[in-house]
């Protein structure tokens, strides 16, 4: 599959973006769409994130998504975990999420990952439209499934690069 090149606006976040990442993500954490994370979590893992800046910085980003490599496991090719995908409500439906996913998949491939996993409690329409497929939780690496909260009812999706 050929990946679409992401818009030049998508960039790797820095520690200086941590507060803006937290502000963008906070409403999604309150609604239960994202797991709770504090500002320190965003500072510590800032470079996991790709962001599409808002119309005028220092406004919160239009959207963000993060990628964390999973520890190697027997029977699983090199894999990563997509997490914290969110798009500012005013920018939803404008292609921000699609550009972020395309950039994340390109970054995963550049890092030598063969598979990207995501977990979602929502409809996952964007994941499915991008080429992710729902898989039984039992087929996902333990590094992903051990962090799932059964009370949230997450479904697991996989994208093979």
The answer to whether position 143 is within a domain reads yes
The answer to whether position 55 is within a domain reads yes
Residue 63 lies in domain:
11-160
The answer to whether position 6 is within a domain reads no
Weakest-pLDDT range from 24-33, 83-92, 103-112, 146-155 = 146-155
CATH number at residue 79: 3.40.630.30
The answer to whether position 129 is within a domain reads yes
The answer to whether position 91 is within a domain reads yes
Model confidence pLDDT, tens digit, residues 50-67: 999 987 666 679 999 999
Model confidence pLDDT, tens digit, residues 131-148: 999 999 888 888 888 878
Q: How many domains, in total, are found in the chain?
A: 1
* pTM (2 d.p.): 0.89
Query: What DSSP string runs through 99-141?
Result: HHHHHHHHHHHHTT-SEEEEEESS--HHHHHHT-EEE-GGGS-
């Amino acid at each position: 599959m050929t990946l679409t090149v992401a818009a030049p606006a998508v960039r790797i976040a820095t520690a200086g973006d941590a507060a803006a990442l937290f502000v963008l993500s906070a409403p999604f954490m309150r609604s239960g769409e994202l797991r709770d994370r504090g500002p320190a979590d965003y500072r510590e893992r800032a470079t996991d994130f790709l962001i599409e800046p808002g119309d005028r910085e220092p406004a919160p980003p239009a959207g963000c998504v993060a990628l964390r490599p999973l520890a190697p496991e027997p029977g699983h090719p090199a894999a990563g975990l997509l997490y914290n995908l969110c798009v500012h409500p005013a920018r939803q439906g404008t292609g921000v999420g699609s550009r972020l996913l395309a950039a994340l998949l390109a970054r995963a491939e550049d890092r030598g990952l063969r598979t990207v996993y995501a977990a979602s409690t929502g409809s996952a329409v964007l994941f499915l439209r991008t080429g992710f497929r729902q898989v039984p939780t039992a087929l996902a690496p333990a590094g992903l499934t051990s962090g799932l909260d059964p009370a949230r009812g997450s479904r697991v999706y996989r994208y093979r690069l």
